[in-house]
């Protein structure tokens, strides 16, 4: 498969509103609606206390696009219900599934399992349209540059996330917690036979990229209602401890925003100086805290990953500066050699664009590297 050509073809067919037939791969892309129910009142309560921003002067709890939205599934053609599935989780500050469409198609084709593209809170189609409209956001960038001296890496692509996190860094945790609840609801619906595509007790595996990997690690550590006890997790460009990540990038967040959240979670959050009392010391919070710093909750984290090592695999990229290899080693400790495989592609790449299908790079090299990664992923998630 040539991923440049196939990405264009799939992007043309992809829709949140209507299904599409992929005759070449004998798959269908089917959209479904999701309405937030699990812990909905708790999420609202938390979001109501988060300070607003100049470009969005309502609190997060009233942003309806984040509560009721579409997600899509790449599934084998036919009406038969399936008893296995893969959930694919994306990276931070993503607005489009474009680069993931070939990923989902390959995994569905080579595992025979439906692949669920599920958006993290306030990402993809879970925000107002103007948040990702360059005409709207460019004026926000100019205002932010006036407010923050010597601002580095401020762009129309990251100003929404940067502004929201700078205004209140607790949003990062709030959105992560909301995403965990959403995943909890989705998986529970599937396993209880309430989803039209799946039979009861369907086995769920995860493919997670970038910040989606952190969300997946928290899910496995917390394991709500034991829903993820047998889940396999394959991480690509992810798995780092939070304190070693670097989100300062033109397409992720600006330097000021990243400095704010890094400092906040490194100290203040861990010491519980600002968390609402209703969120202190529950199992979700503890799972997230175990992934923040290498020196905190080390024994609990290392014990869990050692026990779960046969269910986890990671492909890390040598030149990845956002989710660096040393950050993965900090997270997994002595278990690292068992779960992680480091690659270095023979072309220019980055964390955000591991397969530069729009560049002038030799397409054969890109395709070979793509198959190397996703061949291993499909084999592990089968």
Question: CATH number of the domain at 3-130+167-244+291-381, please?
Answer: 3.40.50.1820
pLDDT of 273 reads: 67
pLDDT of 24 reads: 87
Mean local confidence (pLDDT), 195-208: 97
pLDDT of 368 reads: 97
pLDDT above 90: residue 275: no
Mean local confidence (pLDDT), 301-326: 98
pLDDT of 1 reads: 81
Task: Give a three-class secondary structure readout of the chain.
Answer: CCHHHHHHHHHHHCCCCCCEEECCCCEEEEEEEEECCCCHHHHHHHHHCCCCECCECCCHHHCHHHHEEEEEEEEECCCCCEEEEEEEECCCCCCCCHHHHHHHHHHHHHHCCCEEECCCCCCCCCCCHHHHCHHHHHHHHHHHHHHCCCCCCCCCCCHHHHHHHHHCCHHHHHHHHHHHHHHHHHHHHHHCCCCCCEEEEEEEEEEEECHHHHHHHHHHHHCHHHCCCCCCEEEECCCCCHHHCCCEECCCECHHHHHHHHHHHHHHCCCCCCCCHHHCCCHHHHHHHCCCCCCCCHHHHHHHHHHCHHHEEEEEECCCCCCCHHHHHHHHHHHHHHHEEEECCCCCCCCCCCCCCCCCCCHHHHHHHHHHHHHHHHHHHC
Q: pLDDT tens across 84-116, in order?
A: 999 999 999 999 999 999 999 999 999 999 999
pLDDT above 80: residue 20: yes
Q: pLDDT tens across 348-377, in order?
A: 999 999 999 988 889 999 999 999 999 999
Q: pLDDT tens across 111-162, in order?
A: 999 999 999 999 999 999 999 999 999 999 999 999 999 999 999 999 999 9
């Amino acid at each position: 498969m040539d991923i440049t050509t196939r990405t264009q073809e799939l992007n043309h067919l992809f829709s949140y509103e209507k299904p599409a037939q992929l005759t070449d791969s004998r798959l269908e892309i089917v959209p479904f609606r999701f309405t937030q129910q699990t812990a909905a009142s708790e999420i609202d309560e938390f979001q109501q206390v988060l300070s607003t921003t100049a470009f969005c002067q309502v609190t997060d709890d009233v942003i309806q696009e984040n509560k009721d939205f579409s997600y899509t599934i790449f599934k084998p053609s036919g009406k038969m219900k399936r008893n296995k599935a893969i959930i694919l989780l994306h990276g931070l500050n993503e607005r489009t599934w474009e680069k993931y469409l070939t990923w989902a198609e390959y995994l569905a084709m080579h595992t025979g399992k439906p692949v669920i593209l599920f958006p993290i809170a306030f990402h993809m189609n879970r925000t107002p349209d103007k948040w990702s409209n360059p005409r709207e956001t460019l004026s926000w960038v100019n205002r932010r540059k006036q407010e923050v001296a010597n601002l580095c890496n401020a762009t129309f692509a990251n100003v929404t996330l940067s502004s929201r996190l700078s205004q209140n860094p607790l949003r990062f945790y709030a959105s992560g917690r909301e995403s965990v609840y959403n995943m909890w609801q989705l998986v529970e619906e599937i396993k209880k036979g309430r989803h039209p595509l799946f039979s009861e007790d369907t086995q769920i595996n995860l493919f997670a990229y970038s910040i989606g990997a952190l969300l997946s690690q928290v899910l496995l550590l917390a394991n709500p209602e034991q829903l993820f006890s047998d889940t396999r997790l394959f991480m690509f460009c992810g798995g780092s401890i939070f304190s070693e990540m670097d989100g300062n990038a033109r397409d992720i967040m600006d330097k000021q925003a990243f400095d704010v959240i890094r400092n906040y979670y490194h100290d203040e959050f861990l010491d519980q100086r600002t968390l609402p009392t209703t969120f202190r010391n529950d199992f979700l919070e503890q799972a997230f805290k175990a992934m923040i710093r290498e020196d905190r909750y080390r024994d609990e984290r290392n014990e869990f990953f050692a026990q779960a090592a046969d269910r986890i695999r990671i492909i890390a990229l040598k030149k990845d500066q956002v989710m660096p290899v040393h950050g993965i080693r900090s997270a997994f400790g002595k278990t690292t050699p068992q779960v992680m495989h480091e690659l270095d592609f023979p072309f220019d790449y980055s964390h955000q664009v591991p397969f530069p299908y729009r560049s002038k790079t030799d397409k054969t090299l890109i395709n070979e590297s793509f198959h190397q990664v996703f061949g291993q992923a499909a084999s592990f998630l089968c």
